[in-house]
Amino acid sequence: MSEKIDEKEENKQIEEKKVKVFYFKHTDGLERLSPILIIDGKKIYQTAVKRKIIGKQMYYIFSDNKSYVKLWKDSKNNLLFYVDNYYGSLFYSEEPQIWKFSLSYCELQLDDNSLTFNNKKLNFNIPIFNFIRNFDEELIIPTAYILLALFYEKS
C-alpha cells in the first residue's frame, strides 16, 4: 500500500529548471525563417523559427501590430530575448509547420517569474511574463509554448 502512495508522490514531483534571462539588443534580420502556425483551439498564432547552421534555433512570435518577440537559448542555456518591429509582409518559400495544442490556464500555471506545465517548471530570474504581458498580452500563450519547447525539447 505504501509503495503505491510513494509512486503517486513520485509522479507528482516537479522537474525544476532555473533559467537566467537576458534582453539582448542587436541588429536582427528576418531572413531564412521557416513559418510555424501554433494552433490553440480556434486561435492561430503566427510564429517562425530560424535554424542556424551552427548554433541554436531562434523563435519569432509575431503580434498583430507589426512587432515581434524573438526567443532563443545561448550556449549556456540562458534565455535571450529581443523585441522589434517589422515592416512590410513576410514571405516564406515553404509550407508552414503546424503545432496543435490546447493549453488552458488551469493546466498551465504561470506568474511573472515562472512557468509550470505537466510537472515541469521553469523559474526565471527576471519577470519575463510581466514583460510579455506589457508588450502584448496576446503573446503570452505562444511564448509559454515556445519556452517549453526550448527547454524541454528532446535532442
In a domain, 26, yes or no: yes
In a domain, 10, yes or no: no
Tell me what pLDDT residue 51 has. 80
In a domain, 6, yes or no: no
Q: What single string gives the DSSP state of each residue in 37-51?
A: EEEETTEEEEEEEE-
Mean pLDDT of 35-49: 93
In a domain, 83, yes or no: yes
Task: Give me the number of domains the chain comprises.
Answer: 1
DSSP bridge pairs for 68: 62, 84
- As a whole number of angstroms, the distance between CA 46 and CA 68 comes to 10
> 59-93 pLDDT, tens per residue?
999 999 899 999 999 989 999 999 999 988 888 88
Position 24 pLDDT exceeds 60: yes
> 92-114 pLDDT, tens per residue?
889 999 998 765 545 788 899 99
- As a whole number of angstroms, the distance between CA 59 and CA 72 comes to 6
In a domain, 108, yes or no: yes
In a domain, 1, yes or no: no
Q: Which of 81, 85, 45 shows the shortest CA–CA distance to 68?
A: 85
Tell me what pLDDT residue 103 has. 58
Range of the domain at 128: 15-152
Q: Which three cell numbers stand for residue 11?
A: 509522479
In a domain, 2, yes or no: no
Tell me what pLDDT residue 1 has. 47
Q: What pLDDT band is residue 40 in, cutting at 50, 70 and 90?
A: confident
Mean pLDDT of 111-120: 90
In a domain, 77, yes or no: yes
